[in-house]
Amino acid sequence: MSERASPEPASIAVLIPVFNDDGQLDATLRSIDDQRVPVVVVIVDDGSGTPVVVRHPSRHEIVLLRHDVNRGIEHALNTGLAYIVERGIPYVARLDNGDRCAPARLARQRDFLEQNPSVHLVGCSVVEWRDDAGRSRFTRVFPTTHDTIVRALHHTTVLYHPAVMFRTSVVRTVGMYSAAYPAAEDLEFFWRIARQHRVANLPETPVVTRFDPSSLSIRRRREQLWSTLRIQLAFFRPLAWASYYGILKTLGRFVVPYSVIVAVKGAMSRRARVEAI
């Protein structure tokens, strides 16, 4: 499926994997319409029970790829990425179904990459999670420079997958997403990129993402934690305290309910807002 509306060639592909859309896709696509730059929206339907249908009339080109059966998000991402590589589109921006693309986010990230040729992946430094009622659940602020990001990667998520943009050329140097780390494919992919290239987060670029109690990260939490632990061991640095801290933190998450973690993050976010007043 393809809809073309802009004569200017798109330099950005927005990659959105979807499995069983729950009515959120149209809102996500509407948020892309507000971007100042032409993009190709690449949607990968990962074997949904009811095939994904794009009803939103977009001014951007929309490409809908399908898997006959559900193969998992790692394979859906690679299907989309292979298509983008074949098209020769230089930049890949990630977005999850249900999330909103912040105004001017794509233009700012593309401009940053063009102005900083040594940086191969850029995220956003402020991410807010909101539920479907519009209530803010918690906000996280991430480091912005390469060295601080790499140091933090040992023990926490500081590159938020649906908020990143990376050069398509990284596929030649680090490969595609790995299927060996289910539910944590993004962390392992980011580690490979950060080992060979510089990464960054744009300051003052807030992103609003959907807090979904039935999301993959929650439904497959223990599987994700095991994958995270294996990634931390794979990229372990004996002389880095953050490596030891990361492993202890992940082991602790096996026994701490996710609801407690969300409550703590929410309390910390509210405290930060009060202190900022």
What is the phi/psi pair of residue 253, to 5°?
A: -70, -20
Q: Are 14 and 96 in contact (CB under 8 A)?
A: no
* Beta-carbon count within 10 A of 265 CB: 15
Same domain, 23 and 69: yes
In-domain check, residue 78: yes
| Distance (Å, whole) CA 85 – CA 73 | 18
Task: Report pLDDT for 268.
Answer: 63
| Distance (Å, whole) CA 189 – CA 178 | 7
CATH number at residue 23: 3.90.550.10
Q: What single-letter amino acid sits at 192?
A: R
Q: Are strands 165-167 and 119-130 parallel, antiparallel or unpaired?
A: antiparallel
Could you read off the pLDDT of 35-50 as tens digits, one per residue?
Answer: 889 999 999 999 999 9
Beta-carbon contacts of residue 191 (< 8 Å; ≥ 6 apart):
153, 231, 234, 235
Lookup: tokens for 249: 């933190």
Question: Phi-psi category of 134—alpha, beta or left, where left has phi over 0 and alpha has psi -120 to 50?
Answer: left
Using the 3D structure, point to which of 56, 72, 101 is the last residue of a domain. Answer: 101
Could you read off the pLDDT of 236-276 as tens digits, one per residue?
Answer: 999 999 999 999 999 999 998 877 776 766 666 555 543 44
Could you read off the pLDDT of 129-146 as tens digits, one per residue?
Answer: 888 888 888 888 999 999
Range list of β-strands (E), the chain: 12-18, 39-46, 61-67, 91-94, 119-130, 136-141, 165-167, 198-210
Same domain, 91 and 151: no
Could you read off the pLDDT of 51-84 as tens digits, one per residue?
Answer: 999 987 888 999 999 999 999 999 999 999 999 9
Same domain, 205 and 258: yes
In-domain check, residue 111: no
Indicate the number of domains in the chain.
2
Could you read off the pLDDT of 197-243 as tens digits, one per residue?
Answer: 999 999 876 677 877 766 666 678 899 999 999 999 999 999 999 99
